[in-house]
Amino acid sequence: MGMQGDFFQLLKEQGYQFPAPSHVPEGSRADITRGTTILAMRYRDGVLVAGDRRATAGNMVMYDRTDKVLEIDRHSVMAIAGVPATAYEMVRILEHSFKYYRRTQLQELSFEGKLRAVSKLLKDNVAAALAGTGAVAPIFAGYDHDQATAKIYFYDILGAEFEGVEYAVSGSGSPTIRGILHYVNTWGGQPLNRLSEEEATVQALRLLTSAAEFDSATGGVNRETGLYPIMKLIKASGVQVLAEAQLRSLFDSQVTRHV
């Protein structure tokens, strides 16, 4: 990513500081709003990324309609676990950075370049993460045109990057989901990467429902108010948002009848 297309460098030259000052008075950290459970998994046609809708502050539910799967451009998303305010700012910077590169270089930023951009923002946020005021542990998923495949990467709060070859999970409900995914991918009827779009969607609904059962910070489905997880697909054609009506139908026919 050359200087001409480096949006981060432009922000620095204009005096933008990231992260914000990380000092927070002792005793107030528990009140910081946090997003909870996210997952990504490969399926036959690409990658499915999903997140529950709950945001918490300590033991309080702050909001039950949080969008934790955010589109950065037509072929990439970032799912957030951690402090939403910090994560949303990161996504805005990434979105403008990718757009700036595309307009100045007359080409898309490479998939590797996108990964480095996410890691750089997280590393710039280390002070706030260690102070407990801005920790974000995201999942990045995108379509790599050079290798003609969708990929999953997850990060720790310090910006270390790991590839989730088949799946990745993050957030408070992730221990439950990780165990189920390992079991299903290893001993299920077929590996995750052979699931159809519908089968992958049902699996994600079941996983987040299981997480909500054992983790109070993970929000479950509320059929009366039309509250369902956010789910997005990353394919060669771009990012696709799964409609609430589709999720409702699959939840009623493939999830509730089993519980």
Q: How far is CA 245 from CA 113, 199, 222, 223, 249, in A?
A: 36, 16, 13, 11, 6
Amino acid at 227: L
The rounded distance, in Å, linking the Cα atoms of 156 and 55 is 19
Residue 75 near residue 234 (C-beta atoms within 8 A): yes
* DSSP reduced 3-state for 118: helix
Residues 6+ apart with CB under 8 A from 176: 210, 211, 213, 214, 215
Cis peptide bond N-terminal to 84, omega within 30: no
Other C-beta atoms within 10 Å of 50: how many? 29
Which of 33, 36, 37, 86 is flagged as catalytic? 36
The rounded distance, in Å, linking the Cα atoms of 248 and 227 is 9
Q: 36 an active-site residue?
A: yes
Residue 122 near residue 130 (C-beta atoms within 8 A): no
Residue 205 near residue 257 (C-beta atoms within 8 A): no
Residues 6+ apart with CB under 8 A from 53: 64, 65, 66, 67, 68, 219, 227, 228, 229, 230
> Active-site positions?
36
